[in-house]
Amino acid sequence: MERKEKNFSPKQPETLRYRYNESTDLSSSMPILFERHFAISDVQRDAQTLPEPGSMFAEPPWQLDQLQRMKRVLNEVKSRLNNFNLVKWQQHTSRMNEAGDIVRAVKERTQGELVTQAWCKFYEIASNYSLVPLNEICRDDGKNFRSVHVCEAPGAFVTALNHWLKTNAPDVRWDWLATTLNPYCEGNSYDSMVADDRFIRHTLRHWCFGDDNTGDIMDLRNLDALVEKSESAADDGGRILLVTADGSVDCTDVPGEQESAVAQLHLCETVACMHLLQKGGNFLLKLFTLFEHQSVCLMYLLSCAFHQVSVTKPASSKGGNSEMYVVCMNFKGRDYVAPYLPILRHHYGNVPPANAMFSLRDIPDDFLRRIEQCSEFFKYHQCRVIMDNIKTFRSRENYSGAARFVRGLISFKYLEDCKLKKIDPANEIVGREIIERNNNQFMNKKLHVDSYNERCKRQNLGPQERLLQIWDNAKEIEEPSEKFYVWHLQALPDALEIQTGKLFNKVRSSRFCDLQILQILIKIDNVMQDMRTTVCFPPSEITREFAQQIDRNHEILSFQFVQDYDSHRTIAEIYDRLEKLQSEQTLILVGYPLLTQLNIGLLYLLGNTFNKIIVEVHDNEGYRLKLETYRRNEKVLNCLREILTASHNARQENKAIWSIMPMKVLYECDQFPAMMLLNHLMIKLYVRHVINTIGDKNL
């Protein structure tokens, strides 16, 4: 089929009257920060109509020349950053960010709960638009409403909405539900999720992680589980009149294709909204650029399904990134979109559709013109900020007192425009002090520190070079100062809390290991996979030699710290060995990983059948766990039988046991810090052993 091309020379939007050059006074940029808004459609001006459902996803992808030109201009500007060290660049842009004091100012003014940049962005949007549909809420006698928050970790949109409601609509009764990639799923990688759980751990009843417990909203079964949970709460919680979606994926290694990389996630978030939101409700969606057919079609879908659609970049959003928010007001209702949902569900998931959602001829010219104007508007401002930052980065100019003064002015304007004030601590969801008290080693950790070009070069290195680079990081890992620990684990809870979820065979995240150190383990595992080889750790010859030295009163149960993770096998082996153990015997666990909630929970159980646990640290194999003086405990054995049965049942559904005790209990374990250090030691020794075994260099 011949591709239909449309080209426009868009008029400059009125907001582009702010022009920037080197002589511009810094204070003149303040209006720009607070007026980065663009109306896409309005019911009084544009009545958009969806084509017939059968025409969707029927024709090949298309491009608009004007949008592609904008993309090339933006990527050319962004490519000038390719040689910059990422950490140093981010530090510089934070200093140069004219709105960089807003978060601090909001914290000081409000003493708010979980105040982050996301909190400030949401609050600003809620203050600029009627994001909370109070008119619709007040139609109900009880003034009840619910909101659903997709891709929500760590939860700042929720706490910001709570603060806004308590300040602006205190008589409204509100309940909420959220979903996000589960920070307790050890099969979820750090690259894909926000691991900060300071708020989540205290509000778990409000979170839905879906059918497989991963929280992956791009799995249709998880969407259906979210819809089911939202409907089950409908009787007493009011209508769902607000949905937010703040999702993204890590595009650090594909900066020029960020929009395409996140397009399918944005489609899934939008389809999720159309399953959840009720007539008259509003939708807030984070997007990036609007250059590709996926985004243009998505914007057209939204403009047809809602009476009013606008795009905004809050002042509290960093000017140098492509982030912007689509504010969709007054949903036409599920009846309106019902004919389109089956085909949207068909194309739901991680695999992008082969065709465009809509044919180019089905989208009106005036709508395309608005998209091009909108794209030019936001592209211009982003390029301006990036070029300004490059100029000051290269010249090493100090941040002037005048610029600091402007930051103060911008923060003051933000506070005044949003009418921010404190709320009674009793009205907080969890409590600022409780959240801030929670030590969280997963906050603000940067997994990428080198420049883009340096990372590209590293991808072309051979296995030996990659191993040595990994060792350069691993050798800096701090080793435990103690070589000997005695643990007395606390008493068992009254009942187990068995959690099942998606089967996984590689630990990609752990609450019991620094995330950067676990990344070292993941990197070396990737090298081993590329080399199609494995290395035993602890070394089998050391384990055999140790087994020959022990007497009959000792039993050894050996594991591989780096073996493919198999929760069922671990449960079965521990139960089988404990069932056969004789009274007063000592059980020694060699290579037992302390990376997962399940393994820590099982160790809790074992700790209640022995007098004590002695941890011995050895230079070549890491640690041994010596469980001394077995005392048969029927309660523990019954718990293990229950866990084993649950594991058998989970395997029938292609799932696995994830945990047997609440993470909150494990966080409070006195041995938590020592367990982290032991995991760090094992990773360091494993890296060294791999290089000594398959490399040419002894370390």
| Amino acid present at 287 | L
- φ/ψ (deg, to 5) at 556: -110, 135
Report how far residue 174's alpha carbon sits from residue 289's, in angstroms, rounded to the nearest whole number. Answer: 33
Report how far residue 388's alpha carbon sits from residue 392's, in angstroms, rounded to the nearest whole number. Answer: 6
- φ/ψ (deg, to 5) at 507: -80, 110
Report how far residue 486's alpha carbon sits from residue 540's, in angstroms, rounded to the nearest whole number. Answer: 26
Using DSSP's 3-state secondary structure scheme, residue 300 falls into: helix
Angle at alpha carbon of residue 552, lines to 547 and 555, rounded to 5°: 55
- φ/ψ (deg, to 5) at 309: -135, 130
Contacts of 258 (CB under 8 A, 6+ apart): 251, 288, 289, 322
Buried b (16+ CB within 10 A) or exposed e, 74-87: beebbeebeebebe
Report how far residue 668's alpha carbon sits from residue 284's, in angstroms, rounded to the nearest whole number. Answer: 37
Given the residues 121, 286, 313, 684, select the one marked as catalytic: 286
Return the structure tokens found at 580. 């056969």
**Contact status, residue 590 vs residue 546, Cβ threshold 8 Å:** yes
Return the structure tokens found at 245. 């979606």
DSSP codes of every residue in 340-366 = GHHHHHHT-SSS--SSBSS-GGGS-HH
Report how far residue 184's alpha carbon sits from residue 215's, in angstroms, rounded to the nearest whole number. Answer: 10
Find out whether 155 is annotated in a ligand binding site: yes
Strand order of the β-sheet with 554-558 is 484-487, 610-618, 622-630, 586-590, 554-558
Report how far residue 682's alpha carbon sits from residue 621's, in angstroms, rounded to the nearest whole number. Answer: 8
Catalytic, 506? Answer no
Report how far residue 245's alpha carbon sits from residue 157's, in angstroms, rounded to the nearest whole number. Answer: 10
Q: Which residue has the tokens 């650029």?
A: 289
Distances (CA, A) of 171 to 142, 165, 237, 592: 9, 9, 14, 54
Find out whether 471 is annotated in a ligand binding site: no
Find out whether 238 is annotated in a ligand binding site: no
The widest CA-to-CA distance across the chain, in whole angstroms, is: 87
3-state secondary structure 595-659: CCHHHHHHHHHHHCCEEEEEEEEECCCEEEEEEEEECCCHHHHHHHHHHHHHHHHHHHCCEEEEE
Contacts of 401 (CB under 8 A, 6+ apart): none
| Residue 668 neighbours by CB distance under 10 Å | 10
| Amino acid present at 653 | E
Residue positions in the annotated binding site for S-adenosyl-L-methionine?
155, 174, 246
Residue positions in the annotated binding site?
155, 174, 246
Known catalytic residues are: 286
